[in-house]
Amino acid sequence: MTRIFHRILLAIPTLFGISVVAFALVHIMPGSPVDALVPPDATADVRAQVIHSFGLDKPLPVQYGLWLLNALHGNFGISMGMRVPVNQLLGQAIENTLILAVAAAVFGFLAGTVLGIISSLNQGNWIDRFVSAIGLVGVSVPAYWFAMIMVILFSVKLGWLPTSGMYSQGQQGNVLDLLGHLIIPAISLGITSVGVTSRMVRASFIQVIQQDFVLALRAKGLERRMILWHWLRNAAPPILTVTGLELGYLLGGSILIETIFAWPGLGGLLNGAIGLRDMPVIQAGILLIGTMFVVINIFVDFANARVDPRIQRT
Amino acid sequence: MKKWIKMNFPGIAATAVALMVVGCGSSVTSGTSTNLSVTKVGSGGILTIGATFSNLPNMDVVPDQGYEGRRFVGNQLYDPLIKENPNTNEFDMDLAKSFKTTDMKVWTFQLRPGVKFQDGSPWNAQAAMFNLDRILNKDSKYYDPTVAALITGRTKEIASYKALDDMTLQITLKEPDSFFESDLTQILFASPTAIEKYGNAEYQNHPVGTGPFKVSKAILRQELDLVPNKDYWAGSPKLDELILKPMPDPSTRLAAILSGQIDWAEVPPTESIPQLKQKGYQVLTKPYPHVWEVIPDMSKAPFNDKRVREAFIEAINRKAMSDQLLNGAANPADGPMFPGSTYYSKNAPTYPYNLANAKKLLAEAGYSKGVNVTINMPTSGSGNMWPGPMSEFIQEQEAKVGIHVTIHQYDWNQILTQQRAGFTGPLKDANGLIFSSAPGTLLGDLETSFVLPEPNGSDIMGYDNPQLDKIVTEAKASTDPAERDKLLAEGWGIVQTDIPWLTIVHDLNLRVLNPKVQGFVTPSSWFADLTTVWVEK
Amino acid sequence: MEIAVKKLEPVKKPDLAEIEETGQRKRSFIHKLYQDPIAWASTIWIVLVIAVAALAPLLTPYSPVSGNVAQRLLTLGSVGHVLGTDEQGRDIVTRILFGGRMTLLMGIAPVAIAAVIGCALGVAAGYFGRVVHAIIMRCLDVFYAFPALVLAIAISAAMGPGVKNTFVALPIVFIAPIARVTESAVKRIKGLEFFEAARASGAGHWMIIRHHVLGNIFRPVFAYGSTLIGISILVASSLSFLGLGVTPPTAEWGNMLGSLKDALFTQPAVAIAPGAMIFLTALSFNLLGDSIQDALDVRS
């Protein structure tokens, strides 16, 4: 318990730093959001009024303090671009990004695990190297290029899958429709995970196979299935770690995929907000992504410690 | 070596397969576009539009996302007192049945009787006053500073307003202003009942106007569902439903219309025009008050010299840009106005493509050894067409006469900031700004762009011509619309002569419609009438 | 886009003999690479790309920045343009050759810059321990909390587009992981016997760092850094694709993909050609990095 407490304590300065970075980045950006709200032919006092209503006339440290205070209470202000509370935008956006990231992670995990096991069972021969190659391809391919090719093939030429968006019109809540829209983006996003996961699975599977107790089990004539089960229990920690961390990266990496596919998630929101100089949204978005990442890291750490008693002692 | 091939086979194979599959089968032939819109009769259907905005436009009385926001949302949910007819460019009566002004200072409106807001509340002088208070009267309970700020350009001439009776509204201006007529076309009216019910902040999520369409569902960033207002005073729209989808990426819009996801795509990539025509889609273009220009800094070298500005324009083969680079989606520009516009001046000089003359002018101005200029460019934005390829084309053309152009890209928003602050602010180090304008959409455009310096107007170039100032003042005070228009045309002609804007091309309002879409009249305006549209089953 | 910090092998209690082996290990490292066909293949591709990028002006008569709009978007295999032309009428092959320069630069330079700074920070943190360690590592944690692409986009958006700004944004992204690897390696060295001996002998900090630390962290840092080049290429081209990195008319594979995207459905093969180059080059660097790691025995 003290361990997790210790970790959380260590995380606090990091989170604080993230909030400073989020705030500072927005203010380094050239261009003021006020000019998006106030057209060129507005009179000076109208302009001053708008500046005042958004609190932009206060000194920077004060603005930071106010923002942080509100953020800690879960209030991220009003979006300048869309004039709705940022929370409203964030809630929907996070949900949509999680759907995409989880789908990508599931794809990466399943494909990676299958490939990793195949690889480890054929250790050293050409199948092994072939599978390793697929893994490396996944890490080396530019996601947007891969996405472009898939869209040409499956959406335009074959017409099987939609080209963008999360739902067809009027199909909110239709899971089948969602799945159809999810396929290409999730695969494009998850393809990097396949390589990392398959490599991890391969290594851990080999390790487990070679362990004495497994040899003993096999000598006893235990079925393959039992060995698989044993492997799962032993390999779970590192695989969970990798998948957990990958989920963190996917959350962030979704910014590109969401932009390409007009997926209404956090990454797309952030990208649009950056273009609009929508300060409250950018600050909230960066803070959220950073925080989620830190939380996932702590969680993975914790889960690992629980699952693998050996770690406790280090 | 074998091992290496085996190792990398998947990657190489994937690339090869992809190249083969996609390589075969996209032939591009030209065809004719068929505009079937006015031949058939019918009604109903669901129309899905893929628009260029990246987010749903704000649904309060001043929409954002540029004029596209007004086109698809503002003008569909709400009405103004006077409307600009998108097809004739004349002023039609809307929420005002008639109006009268003898001195262009006091305007008296007879409001249209029997009109109701979409929530059933009545349209009358009280409702009008409520809306004006909201954007003009700081002491009123429902004054909204954000909305007021956005519309201030259209309301700043208003001195006072009052209701003479239930259906008569009188607005008094600070001084006579014949341009006010067009300002009125952009002041929209919302239901006071709804604003009182929801409050200023929440109202935008529950918009209620008098317009031809009302909101049935809005999913932020994804979809806006509109349904017809069956009680619309001018007659219910024909559609059963109108769906708007934000699609900021041109190739996404193209893919969506090719796959049937949408029926109507704004501004597809121009290279798809031949392919779309061949497949039978309606590819619509029509001139309208639009111009794509470089706004030069005339306060410093080299653009302070008119010869350099002229040379800059003459070095660009605008016909090639329009016909080849943009596949016919634009027309070359002689000046801010397009031929056919009321304000097009036939006497003003044009600047035909002429490399030799350009070089000569530059040499006369002392730049025979060449000159470096920096131009800032937006990456997208309403009306900005395809700024990347277009500015690259300009770069290349200017290089031939010795003008070395460096392009700095910025977001549309940053460009607006820069334009607002002028060349003394963020644009300090730049020589020019790529921009697009809608000259003539508002009568006051000439004044705003070329007479009033910032912060009251957009004359950021440092341009000043007393003759033009005089003409604008006369036009503004004129009580005869015909005389006003004649003076304005003369004014635009002066602008074309002085070239404070380096005008390059006129956009042609490119959009693509599925052959099923009927009844749409291609407008010569930034706005459009969607009440006559229906979709075949 | 993940930056995985691979765990180093557990520490074996060393003896002085190990130090003598360093020389032999260097030789066996080259030897191992020599025998690895994948390392060969990747190196050949990379050398090829570098060569044609450097020799680009000699290899093609066309200009990479200006073209003839009347000839825009020609298909693959058109006369005079093997890979077609882009939306400005420029020859694609030419742009790929010249683009290689930018892409390679954006792959290698940021990693090199980050390596220098990251190493310095990592050595300082690992060597001096305690307060210095705490300050440096906590600061780095903040940057480590962001996925690479998000950080790169945020910084690039803040600073504006342009190659110069990308050379600031990208190294920032890589400094944290490199520093971590370095710090790990330094901590490991501190546990070695010879290190204690050196300290006991009264040698100054700088001498110890120079003579003992730097030489011994080179292996893990180099191995790790070589895996970052592929990632740097991908991130840099992603930035250009989004319009945040290299600006037109400069040719770079990422921004070629970005501007050809609109032609995706009319000339698909032309549109995807630059992407293939990014893919193959990033793949080669990744494979080479893998082989280097294998040869240096720095795997988990």
Q: Which long-range contacts (CB under 8 A, 24 or more apart) does A47-54 make?
A: A47/B149, A47/B455, A49/B145, A49/B149, A50/B145, A50/B146, A50/B149, A53/B145, A53/B146, A54/A78, A54/A80
Share above pLDDT 70 across residues of chain B, in percent, rounded to a whole number: 92
Contact A148 C145 (CB under 8 A): no
What is the pLDDT confidence band of residue C223, given thresholds at 50, 70 and 90? confident
How much is the pTM? 0.80
Question: pLDDT digit string (tens) for C104-125?
Answer: 998 899 999 999 999 988 888 8
**CA neighbor of B325 nearest in space, from C85, C76, C89:** C89
B156/B177 Cα distance (integer angstroms)? 11
Q: Is the dihedral of CA A141, A142, A146, A147 positive or negative?
A: positive
Q: Which residues of B187-211 are buried (b: 16+ CB within 10 A; e: fewer)?
A: bbbbbbbbbeeeebeebbeebbbbb
DSSP B390-414: HHHHHHHHHHTTTEEEEEEEE-HHH
Question: pLDDT digit string (tens) for B80-137?
Answer: 999 999 888 889 999 999 999 988 999 999 999 999 999 999 999 999 999 999 999 9
Contact B251 C65 (CB under 8 A): no
Q: What is the pLDDT of residue B528?
A: 93
Q: Which residues of A touch B456 (CB under 8 A)?
A: 41, 43
Q: Which amino acid is at C75?
A: T
Peptide bond into B63 cis (omega under 30): no
User: CB contact, 8 Å: B247 with chain A?
Assistant: yes
Q: How many CB pairs below 8 A link A and B?
A: 179
Q: What is the mean pLDDT of the segment spanning B274-286? A: 93
What is the pLDDT confidence band of residue B19, given thresholds at 50, 70 and 90? very low
With an 8 Å Cβ cutoff, the interface of chain C facing chain B consists of: 37-38, 40-41, 65-67, 69-70, 72-73, 75-76, 87-88, 160-162, 243, 247-249, 259, 261-269, 272, 276, 279-280, 283, 287
Residue A305 has pLDDT above 60, yes or no: yes
The shortest CB-CB distance from C272 to any of A20, A148, A245 is to A148
Q: Which residues of B touch C41 (CB under 8 A)?
A: 4, 7-8
Q: Which residues of B touch C287 (CB under 8 A)?
A: 7-8
B56/A262 Cα distance (integer angstroms)? 13
Residue B27 has pLDDT above 70, yes or no: no
What is the pLDDT confidence band of residue C15, given thresholds at 50, 70 and 90? low
Query: What is the distance of C-alpha C280 from the center of its chain?
Result: 14
Q: What is the pLDDT of residue B10?
A: 46
Q: Which residues of C touch B254 (CB under 8 A)?
A: 262, 265
Residue B440 has pLDDT above 90, yes or no: no
Contact B392 C248 (CB under 8 A): yes
What is the pLDDT confidence band of residue B2, given thresholds at 50, 70 and 90? very low
Cβ contact B427:B415 at 8 Å: no
Q: Which residues of C touch B389 (CB under 8 A)?
A: 87-88, 259
Could you tell me which residues come within 8 angstroms of residue B89 by beta carbon, excluding any fewer than 6 positions away?
A: B289, B342, B524, B525
Q: What is the ipTM of this complex?
A: 0.77
Q: What is the pLDDT of residue B16?
A: 45
Residue B379 has pLDDT above 80, yes or no: no
A218/A222 Cα distance (integer angstroms)? 5
Q: Which residues of C143-158 are buried (b: 16+ CB within 10 A; e: fewer)?
A: bbbbbbbbbbbbbbbb
B398 to chain C, closest Cα gap in Å? 11
Residue of C nearest to B399 (CA): C66
B231/B299 Cα distance (integer angstroms)? 55
What token pair was written down for A285?
Answer: 């978005």
Average pLDDT score over chain A:
78
Q: What is the pLDDT of residue B98?
A: 94
Q: What is the pLDDT of residue B33?
A: 39
By CB neighbour count within 10 A (0-12 exposed, 13-18 middle, 19+ buried), where does C206 fall? exposed
**Bridge partners of residue B245, in order along the sequence:** B50
What is the pLDDT confidence band of residue C26, given thresholds at 50, 70 and 90? low
Q: What is the pLDDT of residue B493?
A: 93
A288/A266 Cα distance (integer angstroms)? 9
Contact A256 C149 (CB under 8 A): yes
Q: What is the mean pLDDT of the segment spanning A158-168? A: 75
Q: Which residue has the higher pLDDT, B425 or B520?
A: B520
Q: Is the dihedral of CA C77, C281, A104, C1 positive or negative?
A: negative
Kindly list the partner chains of chain C, i.e. chains with 3 or more CB atom pairs below 8 Å. Answer: A, B
With an 8 Å Cβ cutoff, the interface of chain B facing chain C consists of: 1, 3-4, 7-8, 11, 15, 18-19, 22-23, 26, 28, 249-251, 254-255, 258, 269, 271-272, 275, 320-321, 324-325, 379, 386, 388-389, 391-393, 395-396, 399, 407-410
Interface test with B, best of A164, A174, A184, A191 (most B CBs within 10 A): A164
Q: What is the mean pLDDT of the segment spanning C155-182? A: 84
Longest dimension (CA), chain A: 88
C221/C228 Cα distance (integer angstroms)? 11
Q: Which residues of A touch B153 (CB under 8 A)?
A: 39-42
Q: What is the mean pLDDT of the segment spanning A25-35? A: 70
Residue C213 has pLDDT above 90, yes or no: no
C265 to chain B, closest Cα gap in Å? 7
Q: What is the pLDDT of residue C6?
A: 54
Contact C1 A255 (CB under 8 A): no
User: CB contact, 8 Å: B10 with chain A?
Assistant: yes
Could you tell me which residues come within 8 angstroms of residue B461 by beta carbon, excluding any fewer than 6 positions away?
A: B295, B296, B297, B298, B299, B423, B500, B501
Say which range, A37-51, C115-129, C265-279, has the weakest mean pLDDT: A37-51
What is the bridge-based pairing of β-strands B241-246 and B46-51? Answer: parallel
What is the pLDDT confidence band of residue A212, given thresholds at 50, 70 and 90? low
What token pair was written down for C146?
Answer: 């962001």
Residue of B nearest to C38 (CA): B4
Query: What is the distance of C-alpha C162 from the center of its chain?
Result: 19
Q: What is the mean pLDDT of the segment spanning B286-306? A: 93
Cβ contact C142:C199 at 8 Å: no
Q: What is the mean pLDDT of the segment spanning C184-204? A: 75
Say which range, A45-49, B159-163, C84-88, has the weakest mean pLDDT: A45-49
